[in-house]
Amino acid sequence: MSPEPRTQFNVAQLLKELIGGTRAYDVLVPVSYEDAELAHAEPLAGHLTMLRTNRGILVEGMLNGSIVVECSRCLTGVSTPVTLDLEEEFLPTIDVVKGTFLEVEEDDTAILIDEHHILDIAEVVRQALLLAIPMHLLCKPDCLGLCPTCGQDLNAGPCGCLPADADPRWVDLSPLLSDVEM
């Protein structure tokens, strides 16, 4: 049985346990983010372990999947595998036993457990996924890229633009060069 897609976990019972209490989950994390870089990602599958710490809950795990990113030369979509190693401590905002608010000094709201004791890994996964995208991915090693003048994909064929080193004053004479053998 495959896990159902989810990013939120109710950790109220784990927060009530002593330090060292754990939970393990096989997860399927859907990727549906507004970022253009992550527009075409498949769900990430993996295993997460949640450990009760003295401050909150430490989430560790590995997620695998693939994402479609643009070739850095010709801008066509290229599917590339990604592996995320997660290790993040989430902090509660409400004391689970007393029901009182806890003072949290964290600026990053992505690692806060909400008032209903829901731990949401979506933003942490999004950030890790953005860091996992290769900086210069090519669709093929000999990708020719786009013409800097007209924007045509040079992998599909040459364009009609003048070479960058051509002197525009000699353009009218260039047809004569095709008759001359060098």
DSSP the chain: -PPPB--EEE-HHHHHSPTT-EEEEEEEE----S-GGGTTBPPEEEEEEEEE-SSSEEEEEEEEEEEEEE-TTT--EEEEEEEEEEEEEEEESB-TTT-PBPP---S-GGGEE-TT-EEE-HHHHHHHHHHHS-SS--SSTT---B-TTT--BTTS---SPPPTT--GGGGGGHHHHTTS--
Count of structural domains, the chain: 2
Report whether pLDDT(165) > 70. no
In a domain, 2, yes or no: no
Residue 7 has pLDDT above 60, yes or no: yes
Q: Are residues 73 and 15 in the same domain?
A: yes
By residue range, what is the domain housing residue 182? Answer: 148-182
Residues 51 and 75 in one domain: yes
Q: Is residue 140 part of a domain?
A: no
Model confidence band, residue 111 (pLDDT cutoffs 50, 70, 90): confident
118 and 66 part of one domain: yes
Q: What is the mean pLDDT of the chain?
A: 86
Same-domain pairing of 70 and 154 = no
118 domain residue, yes or no: yes
Give domain status of residue 116, yes or no.
yes
Give mean pLDDT, residues 137-146.
Answer: 93
Does the pLDDT at position 182 exceed 60?
A: no
> Is 87 found in the same domain as 175?
no
Q: Does one domain contain both 48 and 127?
A: yes
The pLDDT of residue 35 is 63
Distance of CA 176 to the CA centre of its chain: 53
Instruction: Report residue 28's pLDDT band, with 50, 70 and 90 as the boundaries.
Output: very high
Answer yes or no: do 116 and 169 share one domain: no
Could you tell me if 53 and 86 lie in one domain? Answer: yes
Same domain (yes/no): 106, 69: yes
Residue 56 lies in a domain: yes
Q: Is residue 58 part of a domain?
A: yes
